Structure formats: structure tokens, C-alpha cells
Amino acid sequence: MGVTYKYFGAPDGATAARVPISMRPEELGGDELGMGGMFTKIKPETVAAMVLTGIQGVPLHRVPPLELVVLHPDYAVVKLPMTVVDPLRGVGEESVGAAAFIWSTVPDRGGPRDAFNVYQLLHEWQDFSHRLHDAGHQAYCLVWP
């Protein structure tokens, strides 16, 4: 079956910690990723590594760890470092394309990904980073089996 990840924005860790219980967008001041949220199979560690190594040029061993907000037997909530979200706001089309190409060549469990799909994903993340910034929110990820 696999693990599912929902990325969302919240003003602080206390609000983010309540998300799995309520899942009500109005408690977040609006669901940062649209009415249905962004559900994906891409781990937050992978997103962090891809942005920081592919766009920022940070060595993989220097990618900061995620911050655990809640650990529950049924789910977890982690906070992504702002160093992962912020770089996407100012990056240009050329950098997004280059990062997509680089990431597409890295095999994962499903094999290498199509560069155009990665490119589209990066643009979704870029939009997400703008919405987070505009709302004054930080990035969180709800993880559940």
C-alpha cells in the first residue's frame, strides 16, 4: 500500500499538530495546497534533498534534518526547513529545468522519473512556496500509512 504524504502550510507547530485531528482547512487559515491538499508518494526528505542539492548546490550530507512536530502511532507531522521552501520562490525557469533533469536521472524504487513530470512537480512546489510566504506560514507534511 505504501505511505502517503500531505503537504500543507500552518502558521506554527501547534496549529500543524492539530491538523491530523481536524483536517479542517479553515483551522489553517485556508488549505495552502487547494481544497484537496497535495497528496503524494514523494517523501519530504526527498523533496528537501532535491531542492537543496538540485537548485542550491548543497552537498547531500549537508541537507538539514526534518523537525518532528508530532509522532503518533497512526501518523506523524514533520516541519520542512525554510531553507527548502524559500529557494523555490526566487529561482528561474532555467534552474527549475536543470533541477528537474538532474532529479529525473536519479533512480528511485520506481525507476528514473520523467524530467517533464519532475518539472511540473517543481512548479507546483514553487507555487506552494509563494502561497506559504504570502500567508506567513511554514511548510509541514502529514505522514500516514
What are the pLDDT tens digits along the chain (145 aa)? Answer: 567 788 888 889 998 888 776 555 444 444 444 443 466 677 788 777 777 777 777 777 788 888 999 998 888 899 988 877 788 888 888 888 888 888 787 766 554 568 888 888 888 888 888 888 888 888 888 887 6
**5: nearest Cα among 142, 116, 100, 109:** 142
Q: How deeply is 123 buried, as exposed, middle or buried, from its count of CB atoms within 10 A (0-12, 13-18, 19+)? A: middle
Asked if residue 9 lies in contact with residue 139, where contact means CB atoms within 8 angstroms, the answer is yes
Ramachandran angles phi, psi of 5, nearest 5°: -125, 135
How much is the pTM? 0.78
